Amino acid sequence: MTKKEMIEAMSDETGATFKDTNETFDAFIKVITGALIQDDKVTILGFGTFSSKYRPQREGRNPSTGETITIAESNTPSFKAGKSFKDALN
């Protein structure tokens, strides 16, 4: 599902206009991103938890040349599905 398809589905579900739904969706993403940048978790009860995981610097290999390279440290977004969400899929 693309962002446009998601917004259309949300708009149909709520009866809000596409424009209003798009603005709400963009704000939702912005708030989650901002929280993760601040190293906060975002928990949506019944759905799951968004968090940021730290990955330290490490050594790796360039698959083309086999050369050893240093992979920089980074923060990676993570999502852990809640029990209700998992149960709904099964």
CA-based nearest residue to 80, from 40, 39, 51, 53? 51
The C-alpha angle 10, 80, 1, rounded to 5 degrees, equals 35
CB neighbour list of residue 26: distance below 8 Å, 6 or more residues apart: none
CB-based contact 40:75 (threshold 8 Å)? no
pLDDT of residue 21: 98
pTM: 0.79
Q: For residues 11 and 18, is the Cβ–Cβ distance under 8 A?
A: yes
Q: What is the structure's pLDDT at 39?
A: 93
pLDDT in tens, the chain (90 residues): 999 999 999 999 999 999 999 999 999 999 999 999 999 999 999 999 999 999 999 999 999 999 999 999 999 999 999 999 999 998
